[in-house]
Structure 1
Amino acid sequence: MEFYSLFLIALALSLDAFGVSLCIGLNEIITRKNKIQFIISFGFFQFFFAICGAYAGFLFNKYIASVPEVIGGALVLIIGILMLKDGLKSKEECLFIKPEMVIVLGISVSIDALVIGFTTLNDIESNLSVLYSTLFIGMTTFLISLAAFLISRYLRKIHIVSKYADYIGGIILIIFGIKMMFF
Protein backbone atom coordinates (compact mmCIF):
# COMPACT_ATOMS: atom_id res chain seq x y z
CA MET A 1 0.00 0.00 0.00
CA GLU A 2 1.30 3.44 -0.90
CA PHE A 3 2.15 5.86 1.88
CA TYR A 4 -0.33 8.44 0.56
CA SER A 5 -3.21 5.93 0.70
CA LEU A 6 -2.19 4.76 4.16
CA PHE A 7 -1.96 8.37 5.37
CA LEU A 8 -5.47 9.15 4.10
CA ILE A 9 -6.83 6.00 5.77
CA ALA A 10 -5.09 6.88 9.05
CA LEU A 11 -6.36 10.45 8.89
CA ALA A 12 -9.93 9.34 8.17
CA LEU A 13 -9.85 6.81 11.01
CA SER A 14 -8.50 9.38 13.46
CA LEU A 15 -11.27 11.91 12.83
CA ASP A 16 -13.62 10.04 15.19
CA ALA A 17 -11.04 10.32 17.95
CA PHE A 18 -10.45 13.99 17.04
CA GLY A 19 -14.13 14.86 17.48
CA VAL A 20 -14.48 12.98 20.75
CA SER A 21 -11.19 14.43 22.09
CA LEU A 22 -12.36 17.92 21.24
CA CYS A 23 -15.64 17.36 23.10
CA ILE A 24 -13.89 15.89 26.14
CA GLY A 25 -11.27 18.63 26.17
CA LEU A 26 -13.95 21.32 26.44
CA ASN A 27 -14.87 20.04 29.89
CA GLU A 28 -12.97 22.00 32.55
CA ILE A 29 -12.99 19.14 35.06
CA ILE A 30 -10.87 16.87 32.85
CA THR A 31 -7.28 16.74 34.12
CA ARG A 32 -4.07 16.36 32.15
CA LYS A 33 -3.85 12.75 33.38
CA ASN A 34 -7.34 12.03 31.99
CA LYS A 35 -6.41 13.58 28.65
CA ILE A 36 -3.24 11.49 28.40
CA GLN A 37 -5.24 8.35 29.19
CA PHE A 38 -7.72 9.14 26.42
CA ILE A 39 -4.98 9.92 23.90
CA ILE A 40 -3.18 6.65 24.64
CA SER A 41 -6.45 4.72 24.58
CA PHE A 42 -7.50 6.15 21.22
CA GLY A 43 -4.11 5.47 19.63
CA PHE A 44 -3.81 1.97 21.09
CA PHE A 45 -7.29 0.80 20.12
CA GLN A 46 -6.91 2.19 16.58
CA PHE A 47 -3.71 0.14 16.24
CA PHE A 48 -5.15 -2.93 17.97
CA PHE A 49 -8.40 -3.07 16.01
CA ALA A 50 -6.66 -2.37 12.70
CA ILE A 51 -4.22 -5.24 13.22
CA CYS A 52 -6.95 -7.61 14.45
CA GLY A 53 -9.08 -6.72 11.45
CA ALA A 54 -6.20 -7.18 9.05
CA TYR A 55 -5.46 -10.68 10.30
CA ALA A 56 -9.09 -11.74 10.57
CA GLY A 57 -10.29 -9.89 7.46
CA PHE A 58 -9.98 -12.70 4.99
CA LEU A 59 -12.35 -14.79 7.16
CA PHE A 60 -14.91 -12.21 8.22
CA ASN A 61 -15.13 -9.27 5.82
CA LYS A 62 -18.26 -10.53 4.06
CA TYR A 63 -20.19 -11.27 7.27
CA ILE A 64 -19.23 -8.68 9.88
CA ALA A 65 -18.15 -5.55 7.97
CA SER A 66 -21.33 -3.55 8.62
CA VAL A 67 -21.92 -4.64 12.23
CA PRO A 68 -18.89 -2.89 13.85
CA GLU A 69 -19.95 0.48 12.43
CA VAL A 70 -23.39 0.11 14.00
CA ILE A 71 -21.95 -0.95 17.36
CA GLY A 72 -19.42 1.90 17.41
CA GLY A 73 -22.06 4.41 16.38
CA ALA A 74 -24.46 3.18 19.05
CA LEU A 75 -21.76 3.49 21.73
CA VAL A 76 -20.90 7.05 20.67
CA LEU A 77 -24.62 7.92 20.54
CA ILE A 78 -25.17 6.55 24.07
CA ILE A 79 -22.15 8.45 25.38
CA GLY A 80 -23.50 11.63 23.75
CA ILE A 81 -26.83 11.14 25.52
CA LEU A 82 -25.01 10.51 28.80
CA MET A 83 -22.96 13.66 28.22
CA LEU A 84 -26.14 15.71 27.73
CA LYS A 85 -27.56 14.17 30.90
CA ASP A 86 -24.29 14.94 32.66
CA GLY A 87 -24.64 18.58 31.59
CA LEU A 88 -27.91 18.80 33.49
CA LYS A 89 -26.28 17.55 36.71
CA SER A 90 -24.03 19.47 39.02
CA LYS A 91 -20.51 20.12 37.81
CA GLU A 92 -18.94 18.29 40.77
CA GLU A 93 -19.09 14.90 39.09
CA CYS A 94 -18.04 14.24 35.50
CA LEU A 95 -18.80 11.30 33.23
CA PHE A 96 -15.34 11.31 31.65
CA ILE A 97 -13.40 11.00 34.91
CA LYS A 98 -14.63 7.43 35.35
CA PRO A 99 -11.81 5.02 34.42
CA GLU A 100 -14.03 2.74 32.33
CA MET A 101 -14.89 5.63 29.99
CA VAL A 102 -11.30 5.66 28.71
CA ILE A 103 -11.71 2.09 27.48
CA VAL A 104 -15.31 2.46 26.27
CA LEU A 105 -14.53 5.56 24.23
CA GLY A 106 -11.25 4.10 22.98
CA ILE A 107 -13.10 1.09 21.66
CA SER A 108 -16.06 3.02 20.26
CA VAL A 109 -13.97 5.45 18.19
CA SER A 110 -11.79 2.60 16.93
CA ILE A 111 -14.40 0.14 15.70
CA ASP A 112 -14.06 1.53 12.18
CA ALA A 113 -10.36 0.53 12.23
CA LEU A 114 -11.57 -3.06 12.52
CA VAL A 115 -13.60 -2.58 9.36
CA ILE A 116 -10.61 -1.06 7.55
CA GLY A 117 -8.52 -4.01 8.65
CA PHE A 118 -11.17 -6.40 7.36
CA THR A 119 -11.54 -4.73 4.01
CA THR A 120 -8.29 -2.94 3.17
CA LEU A 121 -5.32 -3.96 5.28
CA ASN A 122 -5.76 -7.70 4.75
CA ASP A 123 -4.45 -7.20 1.19
CA ILE A 124 -1.01 -6.13 2.41
CA GLU A 125 1.57 -8.68 1.34
CA SER A 126 3.70 -9.21 4.48
CA ASN A 127 3.18 -9.37 8.23
CA LEU A 128 5.78 -6.64 8.74
CA SER A 129 3.88 -4.33 6.38
CA VAL A 130 0.69 -4.96 8.34
CA LEU A 131 2.47 -4.15 11.59
CA TYR A 132 3.97 -0.93 10.20
CA SER A 133 0.68 0.14 8.66
CA THR A 134 -1.31 -0.44 11.83
CA LEU A 135 1.34 1.25 14.00
CA PHE A 136 1.16 4.23 11.65
CA ILE A 137 -2.62 4.34 12.06
CA GLY A 138 -2.28 4.22 15.85
CA MET A 139 0.38 6.95 15.94
CA THR A 140 -1.64 9.18 13.62
CA THR A 141 -4.67 8.84 15.90
CA PHE A 142 -2.47 9.55 18.92
CA LEU A 143 -1.19 12.78 17.36
CA ILE A 144 -4.60 13.89 16.05
CA SER A 145 -6.15 13.32 19.50
CA LEU A 146 -3.34 15.32 21.11
CA ALA A 147 -3.99 18.16 18.67
CA ALA A 148 -7.71 18.09 19.52
CA PHE A 149 -7.00 18.42 23.23
CA LEU A 150 -4.64 21.33 22.54
CA ILE A 151 -7.26 23.06 20.38
CA SER A 152 -9.95 22.50 23.02
CA ARG A 153 -7.80 24.36 25.55
CA TYR A 154 -8.20 27.52 23.45
CA LEU A 155 -11.87 26.92 22.62
CA ARG A 156 -12.62 26.62 26.35
CA LYS A 157 -11.53 30.23 26.82
CA ILE A 158 -14.54 31.34 24.80
CA HIS A 159 -17.16 31.88 27.51
CA ILE A 160 -20.17 30.56 25.60
CA VAL A 161 -18.29 27.40 24.61
CA SER A 162 -17.12 26.64 28.15
CA LYS A 163 -20.56 27.37 29.63
CA TYR A 164 -22.35 24.94 27.32
CA ALA A 165 -19.50 22.47 26.67
CA ASP A 166 -21.39 19.40 27.90
CA TYR A 167 -24.39 20.23 25.73
CA ILE A 168 -22.31 21.05 22.67
CA GLY A 169 -20.18 17.93 23.11
CA GLY A 170 -23.22 15.73 23.76
CA ILE A 171 -25.04 16.96 20.67
CA ILE A 172 -21.91 16.52 18.53
CA LEU A 173 -21.45 12.96 19.82
CA ILE A 174 -25.11 12.11 19.19
CA ILE A 175 -24.88 13.39 15.61
CA PHE A 176 -21.57 11.60 15.16
CA GLY A 177 -23.04 8.34 16.51
CA ILE A 178 -26.00 8.57 14.14
CA LYS A 179 -23.62 9.25 11.24
CA MET A 180 -21.51 6.21 12.15
CA MET A 181 -24.57 3.96 12.31
CA PHE A 182 -26.43 5.02 9.19
CA PHE A 183 -24.09 6.81 6.76
Structure 2
Amino acid sequence: MNLWELLILAVGLSMDAFAVSVCKGLSVKKLKAKHMLTVGAYFGGFQALMPLLGYILGIQFQSMIQQFDHWIAFVLLVLIGLSMIKESREEAENLNDSFSFKTMLPLAVATSIDALAVGVTFAFLQVKIVPAISFIGATTFILSAIGIRIGNIFGAKYKSKAELVGGIVLILMGAKILLEHLGVPDMIFG
Protein backbone atom coordinates (compact mmCIF):
# COMPACT_ATOMS: atom_id res chain seq x y z
CA MET A 1 0.00 0.00 0.00
CA ASN A 2 1.56 3.25 -1.10
CA LEU A 3 1.31 6.61 0.69
CA TRP A 4 -1.45 7.93 -1.57
CA GLU A 5 -3.62 4.84 -0.94
CA LEU A 6 -2.95 5.09 2.78
CA LEU A 7 -3.97 8.76 2.79
CA ILE A 8 -7.23 7.96 0.99
CA LEU A 9 -7.92 5.13 3.43
CA ALA A 10 -7.05 7.29 6.45
CA VAL A 11 -9.39 10.05 5.30
CA GLY A 12 -12.15 7.53 4.59
CA LEU A 13 -11.78 5.95 8.03
CA SER A 14 -11.74 9.31 9.77
CA MET A 15 -15.06 10.45 8.30
CA ASP A 16 -17.12 8.93 11.14
CA ALA A 17 -14.93 10.73 13.68
CA PHE A 18 -15.13 13.91 11.60
CA ALA A 19 -18.93 13.70 11.49
CA VAL A 20 -19.20 13.16 15.25
CA SER A 21 -16.75 16.02 15.79
CA VAL A 22 -18.97 18.30 13.72
CA CYS A 23 -21.89 17.31 15.97
CA LYS A 24 -19.81 17.91 19.10
CA GLY A 25 -18.98 21.34 17.69
CA LEU A 26 -22.69 22.07 17.49
CA SER A 27 -23.06 21.40 21.21
CA VAL A 28 -20.26 23.73 22.34
CA LYS A 29 -21.19 27.34 22.97
CA LYS A 30 -17.61 28.61 23.33
CA LEU A 31 -15.07 26.41 21.57
CA LYS A 32 -11.61 26.25 23.14
CA ALA A 33 -8.36 24.73 21.93
CA LYS A 34 -8.61 22.08 24.66
CA HIS A 35 -11.90 20.87 23.11
CA MET A 36 -10.19 20.41 19.76
CA LEU A 37 -7.23 18.61 21.36
CA THR A 38 -9.49 16.35 23.44
CA VAL A 39 -11.62 15.29 20.48
CA GLY A 40 -8.55 14.83 18.28
CA ALA A 41 -6.74 12.76 20.92
CA TYR A 42 -9.67 10.44 21.60
CA PHE A 43 -10.64 9.88 17.99
CA GLY A 44 -7.10 9.83 16.60
CA GLY A 45 -5.89 7.54 19.39
CA PHE A 46 -8.65 5.00 18.88
CA GLN A 47 -8.33 5.16 15.08
CA ALA A 48 -4.69 4.12 15.59
CA LEU A 49 -5.38 1.53 18.29
CA MET A 50 -8.17 -0.36 16.54
CA PRO A 51 -6.28 -1.22 13.32
CA LEU A 52 -3.40 -2.42 15.49
CA LEU A 53 -5.75 -4.79 17.33
CA GLY A 54 -7.25 -5.93 14.02
CA TYR A 55 -3.77 -6.46 12.60
CA ILE A 56 -2.77 -8.63 15.57
CA LEU A 57 -5.94 -10.71 15.12
CA GLY A 58 -5.39 -10.94 11.37
CA ILE A 59 -1.80 -12.15 11.77
CA GLN A 60 -3.04 -14.96 14.04
CA PHE A 61 -5.37 -16.32 11.37
CA GLN A 62 -3.49 -15.31 8.21
CA SER A 63 -2.16 -18.75 7.31
CA MET A 64 -5.64 -20.30 7.58
CA ILE A 65 -7.36 -17.84 5.27
CA GLN A 66 -4.63 -16.51 2.99
CA GLN A 67 -6.17 -18.00 -0.15
CA PHE A 68 -9.34 -15.91 0.19
CA ASP A 69 -8.08 -12.93 2.22
CA HIS A 70 -8.79 -10.49 -0.62
CA TRP A 71 -12.47 -11.47 -0.50
CA ILE A 72 -12.52 -10.87 3.26
CA ALA A 73 -10.90 -7.46 2.81
CA PHE A 74 -13.39 -6.61 0.05
CA VAL A 75 -16.45 -7.71 2.06
CA LEU A 76 -15.31 -5.93 5.24
CA LEU A 77 -14.57 -2.65 3.48
CA VAL A 78 -17.81 -2.76 1.48
CA LEU A 79 -19.88 -3.50 4.60
CA ILE A 80 -18.19 -0.70 6.52
CA GLY A 81 -18.66 1.65 3.57
CA LEU A 82 -22.35 0.76 3.19
CA SER A 83 -22.86 1.26 6.90
CA MET A 84 -21.31 4.72 6.69
CA ILE A 85 -23.50 5.59 3.68
CA LYS A 86 -26.57 4.42 5.63
CA GLU A 87 -25.53 6.55 8.62
CA SER A 88 -25.15 9.55 6.33
CA ARG A 89 -28.88 9.36 5.62
CA GLU A 90 -29.95 9.21 9.29
CA GLU A 91 -30.78 12.14 11.51
CA ALA A 92 -27.99 13.54 13.68
CA GLU A 93 -28.09 12.42 17.29
CA ASN A 94 -28.26 15.00 20.03
CA LEU A 95 -24.81 15.05 21.53
CA ASN A 96 -24.15 16.69 24.85
CA ASP A 97 -21.44 19.27 25.36
CA SER A 98 -19.40 17.12 27.77
CA PHE A 99 -15.83 16.14 26.98
CA SER A 100 -15.52 13.76 29.94
CA PHE A 101 -14.05 10.28 29.71
CA LYS A 102 -17.55 8.83 30.16
CA THR A 103 -18.80 10.77 27.13
CA MET A 104 -15.78 10.57 24.85
CA LEU A 105 -14.79 6.90 25.29
CA PRO A 106 -17.98 5.42 23.78
CA LEU A 107 -17.84 7.92 20.91
CA ALA A 108 -14.19 7.09 20.20
CA VAL A 109 -14.87 3.34 20.26
CA ALA A 110 -17.99 3.66 18.10
CA THR A 111 -16.24 5.75 15.45
CA SER A 112 -13.24 3.42 15.27
CA ILE A 113 -14.87 -0.02 15.06
CA ASP A 114 -14.51 0.04 11.29
CA ALA A 115 -10.76 0.58 11.72
CA LEU A 116 -10.57 -2.77 13.55
CA ALA A 117 -11.73 -4.54 10.39
CA VAL A 118 -9.30 -2.51 8.30
CA GLY A 119 -6.50 -3.68 10.61
CA VAL A 120 -7.41 -7.27 9.76
CA THR A 121 -7.08 -6.45 6.07
CA PHE A 122 -3.70 -4.81 6.78
CA ALA A 123 -2.48 -8.15 8.11
CA PHE A 124 -3.61 -9.92 4.94
CA LEU A 125 -2.01 -7.27 2.73
CA GLN A 126 1.19 -7.32 4.83
CA VAL A 127 1.10 -3.56 5.41
CA LYS A 128 3.79 -2.08 7.66
CA ILE A 129 1.53 -1.50 10.64
CA VAL A 130 3.36 1.14 12.71
CA PRO A 131 3.63 3.76 9.95
CA ALA A 132 0.08 2.94 8.80
CA ILE A 133 -1.56 3.35 12.21
CA SER A 134 0.50 6.44 12.96
CA PHE A 135 -0.66 8.01 9.72
CA ILE A 136 -4.30 7.03 10.30
CA GLY A 137 -4.20 8.32 13.88
CA ALA A 138 -2.62 11.63 12.89
CA THR A 139 -5.04 12.12 10.00
CA THR A 140 -8.03 11.43 12.26
CA PHE A 141 -6.63 13.74 14.95
CA ILE A 142 -6.35 16.61 12.48
CA LEU A 143 -9.71 16.03 10.80
CA SER A 144 -11.50 15.64 14.14
CA ALA A 145 -10.04 18.90 15.43
CA ILE A 146 -11.11 20.60 12.21
CA GLY A 147 -14.53 18.92 12.42
CA ILE A 148 -15.35 20.31 15.85
CA ARG A 149 -14.42 23.79 14.62
CA ILE A 150 -16.55 23.41 11.49
CA GLY A 151 -19.46 22.17 13.59
CA ASN A 152 -19.11 25.11 15.91
CA ILE A 153 -19.11 27.56 13.00
CA PHE A 154 -21.34 26.03 10.32
CA GLY A 155 -23.56 23.46 12.03
CA ALA A 156 -24.63 19.99 10.93
CA LYS A 157 -24.54 20.80 7.21
CA TYR A 158 -21.41 18.69 6.51
CA LYS A 159 -22.01 15.66 8.78
CA SER A 160 -23.93 13.52 6.31
CA LYS A 161 -21.72 14.50 3.38
CA ALA A 162 -18.59 13.46 5.31
CA GLU A 163 -20.06 10.06 6.15
CA LEU A 164 -21.23 9.54 2.56
CA VAL A 165 -17.79 10.35 1.13
CA GLY A 166 -16.08 8.13 3.70
CA GLY A 167 -18.36 5.22 2.84
CA ILE A 168 -17.77 5.57 -0.89
CA VAL A 169 -14.00 5.74 -0.39
CA LEU A 170 -13.98 2.53 1.66
CA ILE A 171 -16.09 0.68 -0.93
CA LEU A 172 -13.74 1.81 -3.71
CA MET A 173 -10.69 0.67 -1.70
CA GLY A 174 -12.32 -2.74 -1.19
CA ALA A 175 -13.07 -3.04 -4.91
CA LYS A 176 -9.49 -2.07 -5.78
CA ILE A 177 -8.06 -4.74 -3.45
CA LEU A 178 -10.34 -7.41 -4.91
CA LEU A 179 -9.66 -6.46 -8.53
CA GLU A 180 -5.89 -6.43 -7.96
CA HIS A 181 -5.95 -9.89 -6.39
CA LEU A 182 -8.10 -11.22 -9.22
CA GLY A 183 -5.58 -9.83 -11.72
CA VAL A 184 -8.05 -7.53 -13.49
CA PRO A 185 -5.57 -4.65 -13.99
CA ASP A 186 -3.10 -7.11 -15.54
CA MET A 187 -5.81 -8.41 -17.91
CA ILE A 188 -6.76 -4.88 -18.96
CA PHE A 189 -3.34 -3.23 -19.11
CA GLY A 190 -1.35 -6.18 -20.14
TM-score, length basis structure 2: 0.61
Report the alpha carbon displacement of residue 121 of structure 1 after superposing the two structures with TM.
Answer: 4.6
Percent identity over paired residues: 26
Instruction: List, as ranges, runs of 4+ consecutive aligned residues in structure 1 with deviation greater than 3 Å.
Output: 94-98
List aligned pairs for 1:10-159, cutoff 5 A: 10-29=10-29, 32=32, 33-58=34-59, 59=61, 83=94, 94=96, 96-124=98-126, 129-155=128-154
The answer for the alignment partner of 1:91 in structure 2 is: none
Alpha-carbon RMSD across the aligned residues, in angstroms, is: 3.6
The answer for the alignment partner of 2:187 in structure 1 is: none
Distance 1:153 1:82, change over 3 A: closer
Report the alpha carbon displacement of residue 17 of structure 1 after superposing the two structures with TM.
Answer: 0.8
Structure 2 residues without counterparts, runs of 5 or longer: 63-68, 172-190
Judge conservation of contact 2:58–2:120 (CA < 8 Å) in 1.
yes
Structure 1 residues without counterparts, runs of 5 or longer: 87-93, 156-160
Letter in 2 for 1:36: L
Give the length in aligned residue pairs.
Answer: 148
Report the alpha carbon displacement of residue 18 of structure 1 after superposing the two structures with TM.
Answer: 0.7
Q: Distance in 2 between matches of 1:95 and 1:81?
A: 15
Q: Distance in 2 between matches of 1:51 and 1:20?
A: 22
Distance 1:81 1:27, change over 3 A: closer
Distance 1:56 1:6, change over 3 A: same
TM-score, length basis structure 1: 0.63
